[in-house]
Structure 1
Amino acid sequence: MPNLAHPEDDVITVSNPLDLVEQVISANEWLFDRRSESDLAAEAQGKWCDYGLYFCWSDEISVMHFSAAFDMKAPVKQRAALYELLAKANERLWIGHFGMDEETGMPVYRHAMLLRGTPSAAAESIEDLIDIAITECERFFPAFQFVIWGGKSAEEALDAAMLECAGEA
Structure 2
Amino acid sequence: MNTNRETIDATEDAAPVDMLAAVFEAHGWTHDFVGDDEICGEIPGSWTTYQLRAIWREEDRVLQLLCLPEVRVTEGRLREAQELLAMVNEQLWLGHFDIWSQGSVLLYRHGLLLGDDGMISLDMAQLALDTAVSECDRFYPAFQFVLWGDKSPREALAAAMVDAAGEA
- TM above 0.5: yes
Q: For the residues of structure 2 that align with 1:154 and 1:56, how far apart are their CA atoms? A: 31
Percent identical pairs in the alignment equals: 34
Alignment of 1:65-144 (within 5 A): 65-118=64-117, 120-144=119-143
Q: For the residues of structure 2 that align with 1:25 and 1:151, how far apart are their CA atoms? A: 36
Alignment of 1:1-169 (within 5 A): 16-118=15-117, 120-163=119-162, 164-165=165-166
Counterpart AA for 1:159:
A
Shift in Å, 1:32: 0.4
Shift in Å, 1:17: 1.1
Q: Deviations over 1:115-167 (max 9, x none)?
A: 1324511111111111111111111011000011112111010011111339x
For residues 27 and 80 of structure 1, do their structure 2 counterparts lie closer, same or farther at Cα, with a shift above 3 Å needed? Answer: same
Is contact 1:39-1:56 (8 Å) kept? yes
SS in structure 2 at match of 1:162: helix
Please identify, of 127-136 and 14-23, the stretch whose mean Cα deviation from structure 2 is larger. Answer: 14-23
Is contact 2:73-2:104 (8 Å) kept? yes
TM, length-normalised to structure 1: 0.85
The runs of 4+ residues in structure 1 deviating greater than 4 Å are none
In terms of Rg, which structure is larger? 1
SS in structure 2 at match of 1:65: strand
Shift in Å, 1:93: 0.9
Counterpart AA for 1:101:
W
Q: Deviations over 1:15-60 (max 9, x none)?
A: 6311111101111110001111011000111121110000001111
RMSD after superposition: 1.8
Please identify, of 97-106 and 142-151, the stretch whose mean Cα deviation from structure 2 is larger. Answer: 97-106
TM, length-normalised to structure 2: 0.86
Is contact 2:15-2:118 (8 Å) kept? no
Q: For the residues of structure 1 that align with 2:118 and 2:34, how far apart are their CA atoms? A: 23
Gaps of 5+ in 1: 1-13
Q: For the residues of structure 2 that align with 1:15 and 1:79, how far apart are their CA atoms? A: 40
Counterpart AA for 1:138:
D
Is contact 2:43-2:50 (8 Å) kept? yes
Gaps of 5+ in 2: 1-12
Q: For the residues of structure 2 that align with 1:62 and 1:28, how far apart are their CA atoms? A: 26
